[in-house]
Structure 1
Amino acid sequence: MQMIRAFNETIRYIESVLGGEIDESRVTCLSSYSYAMFSRLFSILTNMTLSEYIRLRKLTKAAVEIKETSGKIIDIAMKYGYESSNSFTNAFKNFHRVTPTQVRNGEAYRVFSPIQLTLSIRGGKSMDVKIQKKSGFAVAGVKLENIDSASCPAVWDQLFAKWSHETLSRLGNGQSYGMCFDMKNGNKINYMACYHVNDIPKAREMGLEVVEIKEAEYAVLSLEGAIPDCIHEGWKYAMEVFLPEQGYMHAGTPDFEVYFKGDMYSPGYTMELWIPIAKKE
């Protein structure tokens, strides 16, 4: 499948420059995504950040070079991005459980192997997905930029610390969204806890941030299960199976977690995931 091929080619490129600088434009050329978006999709598909993957691969390659060559340890450390002997030794020991000098003297070290995406057979299991064009709309709420995914609940806490669900619902049709937008940092996300809004002046008067969303086409996934697990499974299914099979890719515009009434931590909870799509060239 084309998406799997592109992902693996991108990883092979990253592997080839672990001792140097990653050319983000090359990542874009190979994967068809910006470096930040590729990093986000990498996290979705592998359950680890791209920066953590690169860090562990560098420490693995550094250990191999220390073991198999006579190069100075400080030179190897600098090759893989460490500016001092102490910072390299600390990172090396945290991962390998031994020091670089001990590895050179014959101690064993850990190996973190390169990742390769493969097609998995799901036994006929599929999700309810439809392609749907949605008219433009506006949302109002609280947004935080450059945060970890785990910090998203804190954005909702900030919103509800000032305004109740009932008050926010009266601004529009009552629909609440978790919106990810404007990915620029591959290790972080920009997230907005927000509600559909018709009365934009009122929302701004309340001190809420307002974002107007243009008309777009989405892959709409119907999810069932407790959050955040059902969201993660939805993303994996979309990126591994549905979008590649249908010839689509993430369009790079805001995507939405669409929340409905109910116990979000119940296995029977239902919600939707809206992923903006574009045809893959």
Structure 2
Amino acid sequence: MLERLNQAMEYIERHLDSEIEAAELARIAATSEYHFRRLFSALAGLPLSEYVRRRRLTVAGAEVLAGKETLLDVAVRYGYGSGEAFARAFRALHGVGPGEARRTGAVLYSQPRMSFRLVVEGSSGMRYRIVEKDGFRLVGRRTRVPLVHEGMNPAIVEFTRGLGKEALARIAALSDQEPEGLVNVAHDIAEPREEGSELDYYCAAATGGEAPEGMDVLEVPAGTWAVFEASGPSPQTVQYLWRDVYTQWFPSNPYVSRPGPQITRTVFSPDGREAEAALWIPVERTTG
């Protein structure tokens, strides 16, 4: 898997001055585009589109400083339709416009080339199981929130508080199957999954029954799920569990993620500082 990922990274480098399709990178890595994007983000720490943008502007920066071509020629080579668009993107990364950088020999930002290598960790292990599940409903309340990679998500905290304890208890009472009780659901996450990208967030229960009037419903088709469990400090336990699933479990097991809601069930200690978490990710077994 790592060898194929690094072949995809080499492809990026050879095509910085042309269009780069995520589908082609996924083909090189022998996986789905959906899984490739999520695996890349987990391993690299930034979305695929952002990495490509930074690498293009890094190489373009070197050519700007070299002064052998016009700024417009450099802009067009790296996919910008106008000098103005190139200047905006250049300044956003480097903190200075391309014209000023060329005149003054400014210090520029450099996004290093990435490659992936095996680091032997795995000392703590991971608790997981594979579940074949019939279709079911997630019933509760939904909102649209920005994506937050680390720390508490203020929009989710505000939304949950606004529902109130009675409403949360009514939702939890609808649960009649795994994952049991009140669950948090992330669905329809806008690409490229950068900080601030929007997603549908549900405070819901898994059920086979009908939804009460006024409740939001997400129909979930039958499929395979990987279920992971962890315990420790909150909120790091859940966030690190997401990271470890993509950086450790997927590269070591014959599964890839598939489109669908990603579900967490978290039980907090009385003081809220500790958590026991279960993470449900829709998966499919690889054939290779």
Residue matched to 1:269: 275
Q: Distance in 1 between matches of 2:33 and 2:253?
A: 23
Superposition pairs for residues 196-275 of structure 1, below 5 Å? 196-198=205-207, 200-203=209-212, 205-206=213-214, 208-262=215-269, 266=273, 268-275=274-281
Residues 150-203 of structure 1 show CA distances to partners (whole Å, capped at 9, x for unaligned) of 696535644653462112122234612222335673334643313225484443
Contact 1:176 1:194 in 2 (8 A): yes
Residue matched to 2:136: 137
SS in 1 for 2:259: coil
Q: Which moved more, 1:188-197 or 1:214-223?
A: 188-197
Describe the shift of the 1:215–1:43 C-alpha distance in structure 2 as closer, same or farther (beyond 3 A): same
**Over aligned residues, Cα RMSD in angstroms?**
3.1
Asked if 1:117 is matched to 2:124, the reply is: no
Residue matched to 1:72: 70
Q: How far has the Cα of 1:26 moved from its partner?
A: 1.1
Q: Distance in 2 between matches of 1:104 and 1:36?
A: 40
Q: How far has the Cα of 1:60 moved from its partner?
A: 0.2
Residues 133-161 of structure 1 show CA distances to partners (whole Å, capped at 9, x for unaligned) of 33443211334568434696535644653
Aligned mate of 1:42, from 40, 43, 55: 40
Residue matched to 1:161: 162
TM-score between both structures, scaled by the size of structure 1: 0.81
Contact 2:262 2:281 in 1 (8 A): yes
Q: How far has the Cα of 1:61 moved from its partner?
A: 0.9
Gap runs ≥5 in structure 2: none
Q: How far has the Cα of 1:25 moved from its partner?
A: 2.9
Q: How far has the Cα of 1:14 moved from its partner?
A: 2.8
TM-score between both structures, scaled by the size of structure 2: 0.80
Residues 106-144 of structure 1 show CA distances to partners (whole Å, capped at 9, x for unaligned) of 443221112222211216222222233334432113345
Q: Distance in 1 between matches of 2:54 and 2:272?
A: 33
Asked if 1:6 is matched to 2:1, the reply is: no
Residue matched to 2:147: 148
Q: Distance in 2 between matches of 1:156 and 1:33?
A: 35
Contact 2:135 2:220 in 1 (8 A): yes
Contact 2:17 2:78 in 1 (8 A): yes
Residues 231-269 of structure 1 show CA distances to partners (whole Å, capped at 9, x for unaligned) of 232122222222222222113333211222546951x31
Q: Distance in 2 between matches of 1:60 and 1:186?
A: 20
SS in 1 for 2:132: strand
Q: Which moved more, 1:151-160 or 1:176-185?
A: 151-160
Code of the residue aligned with 1:61 in structure 2: it is V
Residue matched to 1:101: 99
Percent of aligned pairs with the same amino acid? 24
Q: How far has the Cα of 1:223 moved from its partner?
A: 1.7
Aligned mate of 1:171, from 171, 174, 177: 174
